[in-house]
């Protein structure tokens, strides 16, 4: 039977991808590639028809040769990927090996017969490009939070694929303490260049922690000032977030940033310039100096 594959190293993305795959399937079976037993079990109950659990290697990239080999024999009609740095790397390797087209950061995916139609932002979020792909396998990296995981049902078969062959030897594994879970956060506090010194980010961190949220930043804070890791910047070329509450602090709200937050339920801006674009995008704006507003807010929250 013809297949649609979904591949992600994170469980939440994998379950969203299964839902996307269901949306475009026309009788194909949905094969989920999972990198942990928990993710494999969840996918097996939440919509996948077959699950392949990958074990043995230390890094997801070590499995790409197994995926290529299997793809060359199964010829899946489509392969959907999660939008993480790691998945993007694997997707690029598979696309090159299979001579397949790959559409990045797709937020709207449709099937028309044997062709696939995908939408993604271009020109820094000002326009939407609609792209059609007619040759298999169609490959797309799906924007996070654009589908809901499916309800639980009967579990399907889980196949275990072990790969202990890798040319890379793991010397030491250290947790990256700087990484955050912005994509899944309910509250996102984001710092922009309105923050004067890197130490002042601590004020925003305290607010995020008090609200049980995650801390992100704008691209210049990460890429130009290097005050936060690049994984933490939000926007069209960074992380797309969809929290219940987004609070921008000293963020001007240029289109490339707003493209990454526009699906937030409530947008709050703390910004001194009443003409900054973030004010237009926001549901609530505190217009004034963040160095007065933030301490007052923290003290009223008891943080
Ligand atoms: C192709 C491309 C892709 C891009 N992708 C992204 C992306 O994914 N994400 C992203 O964030 N950017 C992206 N950018 C950059 C983007 O265009 C903006 O330059 C950037 O978002 C601006 O960051 P900022 O709001 O921190 O800084 P600024 O635009 O400098 O804004 C700082 C704001 O802080 C306010 N401020 C200053 N002092 C205070 C104070 N004391 N109290 C309150 N407010 C204060 C100012 O009024 C100002 O509005 C991209 C650019 C390009 C060209």
Distance separating alpha carbons of residues 97 and 177, to the nearest angstrom: 34
C-alpha distances in Å from residue 188, one per residue of 51, 180, 184, 194, 216: 33, 11, 10, 17, 7
**Token pair recorded at residue 264:** 């937030």
Instruction: For 205-228, write each residue's pLDDT tens digit.
Output: 999 999 999 999 999 999 999 999
Centre of ligand 1 to C-alpha 63, Å, is 38
Report pLDDT for 178. Answer: 61
Query: pLDDT tier at 177 (50, 70, 90 boundaries)?
Result: low
Q: How far apart are CA 85 and CA 8, in angstroms?
A: 11
> HSE (CB half, 13 Å, CA atoms) of 209?
9
- Residues in contact with 94: Cβ distance below 8 Å, sequence separation at least 6, in sequence order: 64, 67, 68, 71, 79, 100, 139
- Predicted confidence at residue 232, as pLDDT, reads 93
pTM exceeds 0.85: no
Q: Which atom of ligand 1 is nearest to the CA of 218?
A: 11
> Does the pLDDT value for residue 59 go beyond 90?
no
Distance 267 CA to ligand 1 centre (A): 16
How far apart CA 48 and CA 70 sit, in angstroms, is 18
Q: How confident is the model at residue 76 (pLDDT cuts 50, 70, 90)?
A: very high
Section 83-101 average pLDDT: 91
Backbone angles phi, psi at 293, to 5 degrees: -70, -45
The whole-number pLDDT of residue 202 equals: 96
Q: How far apart are CA 281 and CA 265, in angstroms?
A: 12
Ligand 1 atom at shortest distance from the alpha carbon of 289: 42
User: Ligand 1 mean position to 194 CA, how many Å?
Assistant: 8
Query: Which pLDDT value is given to residue 179?
Result: 66
The sign of the CA dihedral 20, 264, 12, 69 is positive
Ramachandran quadrant class, 87 (left: phi over 0; alpha: psi -120 to 50; beta: rest): alpha
Report the C-alpha gap between 29 and 3 in whole angstroms.
5
Domains and CATH numbers, the chain: 3-162 (3.40.50.620), 182-300 (3.40.50.1220)
> How far does residue 251's CA lie from ligand 1's centre (Å)?
5
- Ligand 1: residues within 6 Å at CB? 124, 192-194, 218-221, 233-238, 250-252, 254, 256-257, 260, 271-273, 276, 289-291
Q: Is 189 a residue whose pLDDT tops 70? A: yes
CA-nearest residue for atom 9, ligand 1, is 235
Q: Give every strand in the sheet of 187-191, ordered side by side.
A: 214-217, 187-191, 245-249, 266-271, 284-287
| pLDDT, tens only, 239-295 | 889 999 999 999 999 999 998 998 899 999 999 999 999 999 999 999 999 999 999
Query: Which of 112, 113, 110, 78 lies closest to 94 in space, CA to CA?
Result: 78
Locus of tokens 């139609």: 117
Residue with CA closest to ligand 1 atom 4: 256
Is residue 175 pLDDT above 90, yes or no?
no
Task: Quote the mean pLDDT of the chain.
Answer: 92
Quote the CA–CA distance of 18 and 42 in Å, as a whole number: 11
Q: Between 278 and 179, where is the model more confident? A: 278
The pLDDT value recorded for residue 122 is 87
Quick one: tokens of 263?
A: 């699906």
The number of beta carbons lying within 10 Å of the beta carbon of residue 48 is 29
Average pLDDT over residues 184-200: 96
The pick from 182, 251, 270, 276 for probing ligand 1's pocket by mutation, whose C-beta has the most ligand atoms within 8 angstroms, reads 251
CA 280 – ligand 1 centroid, Å: 15
Give the number of the atom of ligand 1 that is nearest the alpha carbon of residue 248: 25
Q: What is the mean pLDDT of residues 167-186?
A: 77
8-45 pLDDT per residue, tens: 999 999 999 999 999 999 999 999 999 999 999 999 99
With bands split at pLDDT 50, 70 and 90, how would you rate the model's confidence at 141? very high
CA–centroid distance, 234 to ligand 1, in Å, is 11
Is the pLDDT confidence value at 79 over 90?
yes
Identify the pLDDT of residue 6: 98
Q: Are 4 and 30 in contact (CB under 8 A)?
A: yes
Q: What percent of the chain has pLDDT over 90?
A: 75
What is the arithmetic mean of pLDDT over 155-165? 87
């Amino acid at each position: 039977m013809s297949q649609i594959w979904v591949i992600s190293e994170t469980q939440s993305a994998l379950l969203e991808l299964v839902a996307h795959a269901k949306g475009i399937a026309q009788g194909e079976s949905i094969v989920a590639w999972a990198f942990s037993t928990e993710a494999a079990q969840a996918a097996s109950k939440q919509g996948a028809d077959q699950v392949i659990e990958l074990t043995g290697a230390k890094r997801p990239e070590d499995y790409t040769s197994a995926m290529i080999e299997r793809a060359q024999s199964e010829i899946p009609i489509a392969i959907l990927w999660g939008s993480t740095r790691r998945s993007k790397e694997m997707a690029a390797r598979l696309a090159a090996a299979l001579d397949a087209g790959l559409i990045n950061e797709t937020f709207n995916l449709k099937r028309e017969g044997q062709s696939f139609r995908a939408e993604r932002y271009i020109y820094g979020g000002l326009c939407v490009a609609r792209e059609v792909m007619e040759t298999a396998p169609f490959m797309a990296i799906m924007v996070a939070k654009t589908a809901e995981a499916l309800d639980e049902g009967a579990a399907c078969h889980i196949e275990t694929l072990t790969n202990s062959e890798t040319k890379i030897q793991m010397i030491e594994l250290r947790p990256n303490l700087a990484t955050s879970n912005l994509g899944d956060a309910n509250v996102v506090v984001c710092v922009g260049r309105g923050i004067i010194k890197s130490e002042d980010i601590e004020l925003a961190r305290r607010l995020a922690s008090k609200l049980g949220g995650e801390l992100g930043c704008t691209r210049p804070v990460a890429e130009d000032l290097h005050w936060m890791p690049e994984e933490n910047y939000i926007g069209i070329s960074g992380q797309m977030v969809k929290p219940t509450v987004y609070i921008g602090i000293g963020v001007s709200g240029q289109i490339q940033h707003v493209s990454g937050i526009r699906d937030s339920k409530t947008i709050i801006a703390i910004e001194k310039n009443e003409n900054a674009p973030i004010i237009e995008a926001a549901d609530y704006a505190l217009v004034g100096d963040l160095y007065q507003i933030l301490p007052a807010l923290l003290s009223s929250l008891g943080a």
